[in-house]
Structure 1
Amino acid sequence: MISEVFITGSAACLPLDPVPNDRVEAILGMVGGKPSRARRIVLRNNGIQTRHYALDPATGEPVMTHAQLTAAAIRGLGDVGRVDCLATGTSNADQLLPGHGVMVHGELGWPQLEVVSLAGICLSGTAALKYATMAVASGSARRAIATGSELVSPVMRARHFEAESEHRLQALEERPEIAFDKEFLRWMLSDGAGAVLLEPAPGAGMSLRVRWIELFSNAHRLPACMYAGAEKESDGSLRGWARFPVTDWASRSIFSLKQDVRLLNEHVAPVTLTEPIAALRERHGIAPADVDWFLPHISSLYFAPILARTLDEIGFPIPAERWFTNLVSKGNTGSASPYIMLDELIRSGRIRPGQRLLMYVPESGRFSSGFVFLEAV
């Protein structure tokens, strides 16, 4: 049995008050007691003005767990009745095991249901949305909830970067380009969670019919670009945390997030857009005129003109007035960003029946991307 699937509710949770740029380093802390040399450059390029951290601004200590943050977003959906399937996506659960999904279920205290945890980076939330959609479409779930969430601020605090050994810190000072890559994500990422309710029929108000969801991996083409729990070897391969002595875990900051900025800048637009858009045209016959709202998950406003130029070059131009992003005010929340964007657009009242939305979610981990096509009813 294959039925239609509709997003009948959305919600988001952004912890505590917005944090402006001039307060970021005060909350996350200064590494070695020195102001960051990379911070101003990164913040100027990414265009983010405010973001949210689940950290007490006075102490820098976490005020909630990741499971609690995700559960808060789900509760924002209101009284949804009996839910048969919960699919969660994130890049950093509170623990290695158990999976994030069951920890969220435990926070909610709901009766027995199917729970899946999708791991990855930015695309994990979109993968959770696809799983939940398929659960409803197949008839195995009457109601399903999908989430994308990130709580990264605890690992972005200065104390984790100060774990570097003295000789390694000196090497980083001597190689500023390596220091920049290592510190880049401190000023890019923030906390947030989003959730959507999926059902086989529209709700009482505005609903979004899920026309299709497509995910693409380009791991066969390029090495890892964003990673954690590993270090990159000279040949581009990753050496995972289990291959290092325990004594090296802190001194080498094995578990910190890292981003190969040069690889990202060179490949993210052509690899995650050009071939996938060609595939979408072939599979679904989609054209630019079919897109009333384009919701790109971009980590930085730096990439906006690059994406626009790429779309023009491949014959899929989307005028700027059809773009919607809240990166400037909500920050880059990874797998939660598409949910938080969609929720804000829905609540703005700007979507009209019959309009169609194309969500674009690139992931720099190994250059994956996802596309979600929705129709307002």
Structure 2
Amino acid sequence: MNNTVYINRTGTFLPGNPVSNEEIEGILGMVAGKPSKLRERILKSNGIKSRHYAIDPLTGRTTHTNAQLAAKAIQNALLNYSSLSDISLISCGTGSPDQILPSIASMVHGELKNPPCELASFSGACLSGLSAMKFGYMSILSGLENNAITTGSELTSTMMCGKNFVEELHSAFERFDSNPEIAFERDFLRWMLSDGAGAFLMTNKPNESELSLRIDWIEIFSYASVLPPCMYLGAEKLEDGSLKGWREFNSYRELGDRSIFSLTQDVKLLNEHVIDFTVARGLQDTLKKHPTNPQQIAWFLPHYSSNYFREKVYNSLKSIDFEIPFECWHTNLERVGNIGSASIYFLINDLLKSKKLKHGDAILCYVPESARFSTGFARMTAVQH
């Protein structure tokens, strides 16, 4: 067995040029030929100023697959450092795979063309990237592997294109004033999500001359036994809160007519439960296993989908006597948007390369997932060999 696991190299990849708020609808397209009535107020609330899409703004064609985004992030992580031929494990997570089968890790391996190695794929939403990270961590900690590549990657823009939304969605927008949740269920995600990928190289030894991040622990908790689905794709939510999956519909036409493959969020359910379960309860459950004093934390890396949740996360931490002042927070939502499973990779990469870290700094990462309410926390420590 290995006593410790280190993140030695990090890499990210963002496709294309930054897309401003004014450019989004021109690239994603309008629904039913009409501009969104919600775009401006959603963007004002989420605080995102720019993001990246794997869509050519001139032709509308996809520039990269999800697997290609992840492969480029891996190549950036290993640049001038390590050979792909030395990799023992590739562990990948995504909420937006290019296809149902083969798995994301298989497709990434195919892009990299490195020698045979072990693969692991994780699906879901934002936590799939942290789950892939934890599998790499555990594989090295157990002594089964000496190194691992882990990734989080998303290609959501192609799902958010206006051509994928049917006329009934526009009629829902018309009812915004009387029932805002109806419109928000689908439209608000169009202005929240973006594309990109992040990758880490983990080994059982720290870097010789640069800072490494020692992984102290990673904990993930699901509350699916307590709460119903909140965000879903390839399904329709029934009145009792259960999901009717895409295979239960009568025809491919019905799937299109009912927008079954439109990513949908139950915003009312999200607002009621996401903070309580993913922050307060999730951290309390984590601290039972890993007692931690908030004064020990030099940097807090929260992944939240919108600036709307920033104060709510802070207040929830404060409510359980785990207050972390904003000067200890490191975020990049305004610049890169919400990249789902890749977001925590970008946060860690940005902090590591910012030169703000010093030996001994403790980092606490927070990754919520609203698909059926789960949460993850990870603690790392900056180490100078």
Query: TM-score, structure 1 length as denominator?
Result: 0.97
Find the counterpart in structure 2 of residue 8 from structure 1: 8
Indicate which of 248, 253, 272 corresponds to 1:243. Answer: 248
Q: Does 2:96 align with 1:92?
A: yes
Trace 1:210-359 onto structure 2 (pairs within 5 A): 210-246=215-251, 247-359=253-365
- Structure 2 residue aligned with 1:55: 55
Give the deviation of 1:255 after TM superposition.
1.0
Aligned counterpart, 1:37: 37
Aligned to 1:113: 117
1:160 corresponding residue in structure 2: 164
RMSD: 1.2
Map residues 96-245 of structure 1 onto 2, 5 A cutoff.
96-161=100-165, 164=166, 166=167, 169-170=170-171, 173-174=174-175, 177-204=181-208, 205-245=210-250
**Runs of at least 5 residues in structure 1 that lack an aligned partner in the other structure:** none
Please give the alpha-carbon distance, in whole angstroms, between the structure 1 residues aligned to 2:29 and 2:45.
Answer: 21
Counterpart contact for 2:181–2:268, Cα < 8 Å: no
CA-CA distance at 1:180 after TM superposition: 2.3
- The one-letter code of the counterpart of 2:174 is E
**Contact 1:61-1:154 within 8 A present in 2 as well:** no
- The amino acid across from 1:261 in the alignment is V
Partners in 2 of 1:75 and 1:217 — Cα distance?
A: 32
* Alpha carbons of structure 1 residues 183 and 138: separation in structure 2 relative to 1, 3 Å: same
SS in structure 2 of the partner of residue 295 of structure 1: strand
Conservation of the 8 A alpha-carbon contact between 1:280 and 1:286: no
Between the aligned partners of 2:160 and 2:172, the Cα distance in structure 1 is 21
Q: Which runs of 5+ in 2 are unaligned?
A: none
Residue of structure 2 in register with 1:80 after alignment: 82
- Structure 1 outlier segments of 4+, above 6 Å: none
CA drift of 1:278 comes to: 1.6
Percentage of identical aligned residues: 48
Residue 168 to residue 19, structure 1, CA distance change in 2 (3 Å): closer
Distance in 2 (CA, whole Å) between partners of 1:170 and 1:335 is: 32
Secondary structure class of the residue paired with 2:22 = helix
Change (3 A) 1:80 1:239: same
Q: Distance in 1 between matches of 2:67 and 2:219?
A: 27
Query: Equivalents in 2 of 1:176, 1:371: separation in Å?
Result: 32
Number of paired residues?
Answer: 374
Sort the Cα spacing of 1:2 and 1:62 in 2 relative to 1 into closer, same or farther, 3 A.
same
CA distance 1:292–1:249, change in 2 (3 Å): same
